[in-house]
Amino acid sequence: MADDAVGSHSDSMSDRAMLDATGRHPDEWFAFLDAQDATTWTHSRIADWLREQAPEVSGRWRQAIAVRYEQARGMLAPGQGAR
C-alpha cells in the first residue's frame, strides 16, 4: 500500500541542495527572515524581500526558501505550497 503522507518542501529541496544553490544553509536564511519578523509577512512579501536582498539567487530558489521558511515557522502545513 502506498504511503499517503504529505511531505514537507524540504523533502525535495535538501539543505545541501539549498546551500549549494544559494550559498547559504536554510538555517541562515531563516535567521535573516526571523530578524525581519517575516512570520508576519505574506508569501509574496517574503519572496520580494529575498529578491531585494539576494538578487543573485534564482526565483526558483527564492520560492523554495520562502516555502521552507513558512513551513518551518508553522505558517504552512507540511506539503502545503505557497498561497
Write the pLDDT tens digit of every residue in 4-27.
333 444 445 799 999 999 999 999
82, part of any domain: no
Position 10 in a domain = no
Any domain includes 78: no
Q: Is the pLDDT of residue 62 over 60?
A: yes
Range of the domain at 32: 16-72
**Residue 38 counted as domain residue:** yes
- For residue range 31-54, what is the model confidence (pLDDT) as tens digits? 999 999 999 999 999 999 999 999
50 falls within a domain: yes
The DSSP output letter for 40 is: G
CA of 19: how far to CAs of 3, 14, 53, 57, in Å? 29, 9, 16, 11
Q: Is residue 68 part of a domain?
A: yes
Number of domains in the chain: 1
Whether 8 maps to a domain, the answer reads no
- Helices of type H across the chain: 15-22, 26-35, 43-53, 59-72
